Amino acid sequence: MKKLTALLLVLLSLSNNDLFAQKDNNKANPEIRQYWFVMLTTGTNRSQDSATAAKIQEGHMANISKLYYEGKLKVAGPFGDDGNWKGIFIFDPIASGCETKEEVEKLLQTDPAIAAGRLNYEIHPWWTAAQGSFKPGKPKKK
């Protein structure tokens, strides 16, 4: 939680940066929007045999891809250590139709790793400029 707080403080300190500045000299002003930050954590049921765990992981990855190409999931990825934090999701509430925390929870239940209890989660509202990875719309498949 301290790392997350530090990250948020850094983002707030950037509020005077051009990225977050008001429209000036005809420069584009990226819109600051709210997203849903989901911290994936170790679940309470990780007792599956290796074949079952692999099948759940395959479904987890397929679900991530599906949500990404639907424009609902803007960012997803694992952490590289063996801590309790397993990964993150960042959902776009406009594209995903998830304007409330409860709606995000429904969407998270489509993930086989969460449904099986291998992963748990924390949901937090999070704000950033709607550009780069956070630009509205669906990504194009290659």
The answer to whether residue 17 is domain-embedded is: no
The answer to whether residue 45 is domain-embedded is: yes
Entry pTM: 0.74
The answer to whether residue 1 is domain-embedded is: no
Q: Cα–Cα distance between 78 and 87 in angstroms, integer?
A: 4
Q: Residue 90's domain spans which residues? A: 31-132
The answer to whether residue 36 is domain-embedded is: yes
pLDDT tens digit sequence for 80-106: 998 999 999 999 888 778 889 999 999
The answer to whether residue 58 is domain-embedded is: yes
CA 38 to chain CA centroid, nearest Å? 5
Cross-strand pairs, 77: 88
Band (pLDDT 50/70/90 cuts) for residue 1 is low
The answer to whether residue 14 is domain-embedded is: no
Number of structural domains, the chain? 1
Torsion of CA 81, 64, 138, 105, to 10 degrees: -100
**Which CATH number covers residue 82?**
3.30.70.1060
Residues 127-142, mean pLDDT to the nearest whole number: 80
Spatial contact of 129 and 31, defined as CB atoms under 8 Å apart: yes
Burial class (CB in 10 A: 0-12, 13-18, 19+), 108: buried
